[in-house]
Amino acid sequence: MLNLFKTFFLGLVLLSIVSGKTTAGEMNHASGELASEFYSLENGVEHSTFSAHSDNFFRRLFGLRKKSEAQRRSRSQRHSGARPQRYSPPPSDSQTPESQGSRNTRVSTSSDMSSVQNAPKNPLHISRRDQYHGLGLWELGFSLGTAHSITDIGASKGLSPGDFASYHTSNFGFNAGFFTRLQMNEWFAFNLGMNFMSISAETPANVEEPFMNAYRFTNNVFEFHGKTELILPTLAYSPFDVYAFIGIGVFFSDAQVFDIDDRRQETNLDYSQVQPVIPMGVGAWYRFPNNLKIGYEFGWRNTIFYHLDGIKVNGASYDHYFLNSLSISFVF
């Protein structure tokens, strides 16, 4: 039994040496104390308890060393008796099925800043590029201008450029319209609108006998259209732009024919008053800093309709019309 006791204490001494908790002086003193204790046990001599120095040695050996005043007041985990714990993040409910449905409707608090940080935010100021090009913005406006017909009555088909310009500067009606426009990107815009126009023409004086005794006609036309605009490249960041457009639409025609005595003539022709039309042309606009825009547009209307003037001449081409318009719009 005594030999087992010796072996146990010698093992503790060796363990202390390996762990580096005991200095050489303390080991010599502890060895003397152990030897004295073992001698007393063998010879039956009573031996007092270990001295304060040996007691300090065994307290350090077994981790029972007394703490200093500073260590007792310290909140450091090194000075605490508890075993250090591995850090683990707080549980998150972002992956739970219950939170998926209410993620977008949950009100963010100070303890849940992730939803605030990940929420998309609108820019404080619009960029110069978007400001000048109006990307993603709508505009609403109206237009006023002239309307011109190319029909059999009036003999305005097949004119030379000079005669064409001379004829239409003195023979025209008026048009008015409303439109809305979306600037999709720097190159393309989409335009929806309607126009009302009043067109008319008279048979020239050199024609002795008008066809079907039709001397004059008037027509009130309502047009609805959708146009795609191709914006041409101009100066960078310029508020001035030029565009070309093409689209599709329908118009309602209500032609009335009159003879030379200004009496209305019944042509008894069977045709539909609602017809398709293909608008095409060019335009330009200027944008002011207050989002107000002014523009000009020349729009040709290509039809597959013979009766814009209320009559049909055998062998003649389709009737057409075109518009010259000034527009004012506001970007929002």
How would you write the pLDDT of the chain (332 residues) with one tens digit per residue? 556 656 666 666 565 554 444 455 555 555 555 555 555 545 554 444 444 444 555 555 555 556 677 767 766 655 555 555 555 666 655 555 555 554 444 444 444 555 555 666 665 555 555 555 556 789 999 999 999 999 999 889 989 999 999 999 999 999 999 999 998 888 899 999 999 999 999 887 666 566 667 789 999 999 999 999 999 876 656 788 899 999 999 999 999 999 888 889 887 788 999 999 999 999 999 989 888 999 999 999 999 999 999 998 888 899 999 999 999 999 98
Residue 209 CA from chain centroid, whole number: 64
Interatomic CA distance for residues 78 and 264, integer angstroms: 110
Interatomic CA distance for residues 9 and 62, integer angstroms: 12
Interatomic CA distance for residues 244 and 188, integer angstroms: 10
Please give the backbone phi and psi of residue 213, each rounded to the nearest 5 degrees, phi first.
60, 25
Q: Would you say 289 and 262 are in contact if contact means Cβ atoms under 8 Å apart?
A: no
pLDDT value for 64: 53
Q: Of 286, 325, 309, 300, which Cα lies nearest the Cα of 139?
A: 286
Q: What is the CATH number of domain 128-331?
A: 2.40.160.20
Please give the backbone phi and psi of residue 55, each rounded to the nearest 5 degrees, phi first.
-65, -40
pLDDT value for 147: 97
What is the 3-state secondary structure of the chain?
CHHHHHHHHHHHHHHHHHHCCCCHHHHHHHHHHHHHHHHHHHHCCCCCCCCHHHHHHHHHHCCCCCCCHHHHHCCCCCCCCCCCCCCCCCCCCCCCHHHHCCCCCCCCCCCCCHHHHHCCCCCCCCCHHHHHHCCCCEEEEEEEEEEEEECCCCCCCCCCHHHHHHHHCCCCEEEEEEEEEEECCCCEEEEEEEEEEEEEEECCCCCCCCHHHCCEEEEEEEEEEEEEEEECCCCCCCCEEEEEEEEEEEEECCEEEECCCCCEECCCCCCCCEEEEEEEEEEEEEECCCCEEEEEEEEEEEEEECCCCCCCCCCCCCEEEEEEEEEEEEEC
Residue 21 CA from chain centroid, whole number: 67
Domains in the chain: boundaries: 2-73, 128-331
Q: What is the dihedral of CA 39, 45, 46, 52, to 10 degrees?
A: -30
Whole-structure pTM value: 0.59
The residues near 28 (Cβ < 8 Å, ≥ 6 apart) are none
Q: Would you say 136 and 326 are in contact if contact means Cβ atoms under 8 Å apart?
A: no
Interatomic CA distance for residues 216 and 58, integer angstroms: 128
- Geometric angle at alpha carbon 136, from 132 and 142, rounded to 5°: 75
